[in-house]
Homo-oligomer: A and B are copies of this chain.
Amino acid sequence: MYSLAEENYLKAIYHLEQETKGEVSTNAIAERMATKPSSVTDMMRKLADKKLLSYKRYKGVLLTSEGRKTAANVIRKHRLWEVFLVEKLDFHWDEVHEIAEQLEHVQSEKLIAKLDQFLGNPDFDPHGDPIPDQHGNVKRTEKKLLSELDKKQRGVCVGVKESSSDFLQYLDKKKITIGTKVTVLGKEFFDGSMVIQVGRDQFFISKKIAENLYVQTN
């Protein structure tokens, strides 16, 4: 249906739209895709011709509903494959992203439907990100960053914001994963650092860590 390049642009724009809550700029797309702004302009023309987004010179782009649906489907595939790699093939959660980047472009509606079923229709990927349904709808859940919690508050880890290998390996070392209960024992206002309790362990974490862990407080 759509080329690999087109799918990757749509996916990047989809994510950027949610972050910026509005038009997405040429430079933002170029940076996210590790490409040059002039290449982005060319592609925006093409995607606009195909009615996947609206584009006005110098004004940035917005996905059409067709574009958004297409992007969500690629993300759906990416996340389902990540679940497969972790749950079935025993990959570690820090090593599945690159492989899913390739698998997400395999074209077959039936394959995805069967994979979804095989995996037990999961709602979240190994990093806690929601898996869009067949229509591209994502059920958004209440979650906040650990850094937003105050002293004495308690939350359950439900996802990571960054999912770089370094960060995920840090979390493993500290025995934090999806579902882990975390209690804030202390919070330093000067630098945002915290002391938290995880299981029986208590330790210090920097603001940067706290800003990349999603938790749910009930």
Report the separation of the CA atoms of residues A105 and B91 in the bound assembly, to the nearest whole angstrom. Answer: 19
The answer on a CB contact under 8 Å between B111 and A89 is yes
A176 to B30, CA, bound (A): 55
**A114 contact from B91, B108, B111, Cβ within 8 A:** B91
Interface of A is mostly: helix
Number of copies of this kind of chain in the complex: 2
Point out the residues of chain B lying under 8 angstroms from A105, CB to CB. 102
**Is A140 on the interface with B (CB-CB < 8 A)?**
no
Whether A89 pairs with B108 at a CB distance below 8 angstroms is no
Give which listed residue, B88, B91, B98, B106, contacts A99 with CB less than 8 A: B106
**21 cross-chain CB contacts under 8 A:** A85-B111, A88-B118, A89-B111, A89-B114, A89-B115, A89-B118, A90-B114, A91-B110, A91-B114, A95-B110, A98-B108, A99-B106, A99-B108, A99-B111, A102-B105, A102-B106, A102-B107, A102-B108, A103-B103, A103-B106, A106-B106
Residues of A within 8 Å of B, CB-based: how many?
A: 19
Q: How far is the CA of A146 from the CA of B99 in the complex (A)?
A: 42
Residues of chain B contacted by A106 (CB below 8 angstroms)? 99, 102-103, 106
**Contact residues in B for A98 (Cβ distance below 8 Å):** 108
